[in-house]
Chain A
Amino acid sequence: MNYVIAIPLIPALAFAILAPLSGRSRNAAVPIAVGASVITLGLSIAAFLAVWPGGHEEALYHTSITFATIGSVKLAAGILLDPISATMLVVVTLVGAAVQVYSLGYMHRDERIGWYYAVLSLFTAAMLGLVLSDNFLQLYMAWEVMGLCSYLLIGFWHEQEAPRKASIKAFLTTRVGDIGFALALAVMYKTAGSFDFAVVLHDFAWAPGAATAVALLLLFGAMGKSAQVPLHVWLPDAMAGPTPASALIHAATMVAAGVFLVARALPIFEASGVALTVTMFVGITTALVGGLLASVQHDIKKVLAYSTISQLGYMFVALGAGGIVAGFYHLVTHAFFKSLLFLGAGVIIHAAHTQDMREMGGLAKKMPVTTVTFTIGSLALAGIFPFSGFWSKDEILTVLWHGEHYVVFVLALVAAFVTAFYVARLWFRVFSGPEQTSGLKEAHVEMLVPMSVLAAVTSVIGFGSPYFAEFLGHVGEWPAAAIALTSTAVAGLGLALGWWAYGRRNQVLNTRPLKSRAGFVYAALAQKLYFDLTYDYFIVRQYGRLAGALSEFDRTVVDGIVNGAGAIWRAGADVGALIDRVVIDGAVNGVATLVRAVGARVRRIQTGRVQSYQALMLAALVVLMLWFVVKGA
């Protein structure tokens, strides 16, 4: 089983080979990266198949290496192969390989394609290192490296203003969450004395107070990475990056890392209790906000981005209800169908030369493969039988129902309805109606094959849902008819509304009266519920002003106080008024001036004439002798 170690190392090696090369030879080395991703996929499937028969609770393979020793504490990096990590392996490498192959077609004209592949490889390595981690520290480190890759890929086309800004925004927003994660590690280390899953999650008995602290801090970290309200603002902007990168990082894997973290740490959340409720609350809020915002976007990628936010919220809801299987299963299905949708969106954007859905239409006739695969993805997202999204969403609803979270259950249904609505809105705008672009044609084959693979996966994995639950060590059940019918009905209703508004031939719904009647609501949605504006105004700008003010403060006051040595004590009483630059400089130069003044007087003695020195000596001698005489007498 030692080949498991190689799984994260192979893409890392690909990065190490590609990164130091010069631009042109790096571009030529792209096949290395693609090959690495395919090999990793093979190894991952092998590892998954090895875990599949039976190995439920116990890890099948576990190894670790110490990288830091502090007294008796050893910090180690480890590889832990259990059902959860094995599943994640396949998800990450399958989507990763699909994206890498797809990018051969999508990015082939870009002059920095080599760098793109290098970063993709590093990302894959970090993500695999994260899912295989056997401790929270390694998880955190891989987590941050992924953040770097996300930053680099969002800002890939950095010559333009928007990607540059979006990349910084993404990095800083997720890092706000990371403060929580880092502090969670500190609390964990102080209370449990370790970062290892084996100790923290199994052996250590958590007191509710400490558990709540750690769980909420971890949740905060997860909210940053998984774009949960109110830290979701970076994800829609992150769409400025290349579309396949969005498919991998901002839809399937990295953003799901937060969910993965909470799923891993679920025993701590359960020990706390409160933290579970908070998780559910955050999740359902995000699911609704994301869904509503997705419904008013015109940019196809932004619709998908908000949809991702909303679906991640769904996963948090499931975890908050204690349904690790449901949440985790939705993570898996969502990874496949959402990356499929993003890859499809990439094809659509290439063909239509725009991201604005209002300028698209009629793609179905010219692009059959894309249409079919995209439709499969859409139906999965809407939650229609038999596609994967139906099964996982159903499990989440079941968990909520059995957990007697009825309010959340209803809200989740509302979110499902909204989801179906914006899916229909997207689909009809893009694929039906009159053609608005000339020269539409189907994409390259290396783009279509990965999409077809993902579509096939999306179509069939739903039927594995009860087996998957058993694989994770829980009781597997087929969906209960009542809940399945309810959710299908709600989804169908949403699709129907979407069709009524956007899909009817000749008659696209005129939304103007609606907008004018509910002006405030619409304005709020169009302004992304004011999150961005609030942050920009109250945090970003204020920080800039504060920094400027502090800089002035430093230049005048602090420098002044320090320079004016004695002034320190006085300063406490009247900072600002008394201590200005004049006083300070005076004090600084005071010492020098004093020395100089003394020197100016003393120098007069130094005439440079030998004889005046002699006279001085004589005089001194006489005085000395007089002294002796007087004293002697």
Chain B
Amino acid sequence: MRALVVDDSRFLRDYLCGLLTGWGVVCSSAENGEQGLRILADAGPFDVALIDWNMPVLGGLEMVRSLRSDRRWNGMKILMVTTESENGFIAAALAAGADEYLMKPFDEEGLVEKLQLVGLLTDGAK
């Protein structure tokens, strides 16, 4: 399984990738939406993209929109990573084509739960 983590916080990229690689997931990361799209173009497809909401250059919502307008990435699951202050935006993210959302802060279980919800990481892969 391959995952793309897009977040402008180094801490969060490391945290997420740390968890994911611990489960044997191959992880790539980008620090904004534009870089994320570039990595996808170069190294895609991925099974799942975990995308932060608020990022410089190209934000999460714009990135989701761009992803969903490109048929190449149809099979890729998108998890929107948000904080509760962005609660109101979850609907927008889902409308734009995100499959699930993940609320910061989350722990291992929270991440596993959401990944299972979108049909990845099934049956005690963890």
Please determine whether chains A and B interact with each other in the same assembly. no
Identify the A interface with B (CB < 8 A): none
